[in-house]
Chain A
Amino acid sequence: MGQYLSGTLELLGYDFVQTALIAAAVLGLVAGVLGPLIVTRNMAFSVHGTSELAFTGGAAALLAGFNIGYGSLVGAIAAAVVLGLLTRKTSEHDSVIGAVLSFGLGLGVLLLSFYGGNSTNKFGLLIGQIVGVDSTSLVLLTSSAIAVLVVLAVIYRPLLFASVDGEVAAARGVPIRLLSPVFAVLVGVVTALGVQTVGSLLVLSLMITPAAAACRVTASPLLATVLSVVFAEVAVLGGIVLSLEPGKPVSAFVTALSFLIYLVCRAVGAVRQRRIGSRRPSAVAVA
Chain B
Amino acid sequence: MTSKTVLAAPARRREAALRLRSARLSYGERVLWDGLDLDIRPGEFLAVLGPNGSGKTSLMRVLLGQQQLSSGSAEVVGHPAGKANHRIGYIPQQRALDSQLVLRGRDLVGLGLDGHRWGLGLRGRAERRRRVDRVLAEVGATEYADQPVGLLSGGEQQRLRVAQALVGDPELLLCDEPLLSLDLANQRVVSELIDARRRSAGTAVLFVTHEINPVLPLVDRVLYLVDGRFQIGSPDEVMTSENLTRLYRTPVDVLRVRGQIVVVGAQNSAHHLPEGS
Contact = CB atoms under 8 A, between A and B. Distances in A.
A256 interface: no
Interface in A273-287: 273, 276-277, 280, 282-284, 286-287
A280 B119 contact: no
B154 interface: yes
B148 interface: yes
B119 A171 contact: no
A40 B102 contact: yes
A78 interface: no
B104 A157 contact: no
Nearest to A285: B153
A126 B121 CA distance: 40
B259 to A, nearest CB: 30
Interface in B148-200: 148-154, 156, 161, 164, 174
Interface residues of B, number: 41
Interface in A143-189: 153-158, 160-161, 164-165, 167-174
B88 A157 contact: no
A42 to B, nearest CB: 10
Contacts of B115: 157-158, 160-161, 165, 169, 172, 174
B96 interface: yes
Interface string B60-96: 0000111000000000000000100110101010001
A215 B100 contact: yes
Interface stretch (B4-12, B15-23, B31-39, B105-113): B105-113
A221 B152 CA distance: 17
B258 interface: no
Nearest to A214: B102
Nearest to B119: A154
A40 B101 contact: yes
Given A157-B115, A158-B118, A168 B85 contact: no
A199 interface: no
A171 B173 CA distance: 11
A284 B152 CA distance: 7
A85 interface: no
Contact of B99 (A158, A280, A287): A287
Contact of B153 (A165, A170, A287): A287
Contact of B102 (A161, A168, A173, A219): A219
B144 A165 contact: no
B148 A276 contact: yes
Contacts of B117: 157-158
A174 B102 contact: no
B120 A156 contact: yes
B234 interface: no
B151 A273 contact: yes
A118 interface: no
A278 B114 CA distance: 33
A282 B153 contact: yes
A221 B66 CA distance: 28
B123 interface: no
Given A161-B116, A220-B104, A287 B150 contact: yes
A234 B90 CA distance: 42
B179 to A, nearest CB: 16
Contacts of B82: 173
A210 interface: no
B147 A172 contact: no
A157 B121 contact: yes
A168 B104 CA distance: 16
A153 B119 CA distance: 6
B103 interface: yes
B102 A157 contact: no
A139 to B, nearest CB: 26
Contact of B120 (A157, A170, A276, A282): A157
A86 B126 CA distance: 42
Most interface-central of A160, A165, A170, A283 (chain B CB within 10 A): A165
Given A215-B100, A276-B151, A280-B151, A158 B144 contact: no
A224 interface: yes
Interface in A181-226: 215, 218-221, 224
Contacts of A273: 151
Given A215-B100, A215-B102, A283-B156, A171 B114 contact: no
Given A168-B112, A215-B102, A286-B153, A220 B90 contact: no
A171 B148 contact: no
Contact of A153 (B64, B100, B101, B120): B120
29 contacts: A40-B102, A153-B120, A154-B119, A157-B116, A157-B119, A158-B115, A158-B117, A165-B111, A165-B115, A168-B164, A170-B66, A171-B90, A172-B85, A172-B88, A172-B116, A173-B86, A174-B115, A215-B102, A218-B102, A219-B102, A219-B148, A219-B150, A221-B102, A221-B103, A224-B102, A276-B151, A283-B156, A287-B152, A287-B153
